[in-house]
Amino acid sequence: MKSKLAALSAASLILMLTGCGQVQEAAQGAASDAASKVAGAAADEVRKQVCAVVEDGLVSVQDKELLGGLVAAAETAGVPSDITTPLRQIAASGDQVPAESVKALKDACTA
C-alpha cells in the first residue's frame, strides 16, 4: 500500500513539474513576444521622426541637430542601416550636409 501511495505521489510530482515547465516556457515566450513588439514600435517611432524631418528633401541647421540627436535612438531601436547610415553621415557632417546622404535617407523613408 505504501509503495502504491509513493508511486502515485511521485507520478503527481512529475506531472506538476512538467506542467510548471510548460507554464514557464509559455510565460517566457509571451515576454519575448511583448519585448519584440515594444522594440518594433520604438523603431517605427524613431523612423517616423527621422523621415518627417527629411520629407521635403531639405535639411536646415536645426534639422541637422535634430537628426544628430536621433542617431543613437535609431541604432538602439534597431532601425535598418539604410536609414541609420545616411543619418549618421548627416550628423557627422560639418557645415555642408551631404546631399547624397539626404537623398539616400529620403529614398529609404519612401521605400
What is the distance between the alpha carbons of residues 21 and 79, in angstroms, rounded to a whole number?
A: 35
* pLDDT at 15 (0 to 100): 55
Q: Quote the DSSP letter at residue 57.
A: S
Cβ-based burial of 84 (10 A; exposed 0-12, middle 13-18, buried ≥19): buried
Retrieve residue 91's grid coordinates: 550628423
Contact yes or no for 64/93 (Cβ under 8 A): yes
Reported as a single tens digit per residue, the pLDDT across 49-104 is 999 999 999 999 899 999 999 999 999 999 999 999 999 999 999 888 999 999 99
Retrieve residue 54's grid coordinates: 527629411
* pLDDT at 107 (0 to 100): 95
Q: Please tell me the pTM assigned to this model.
A: 0.66
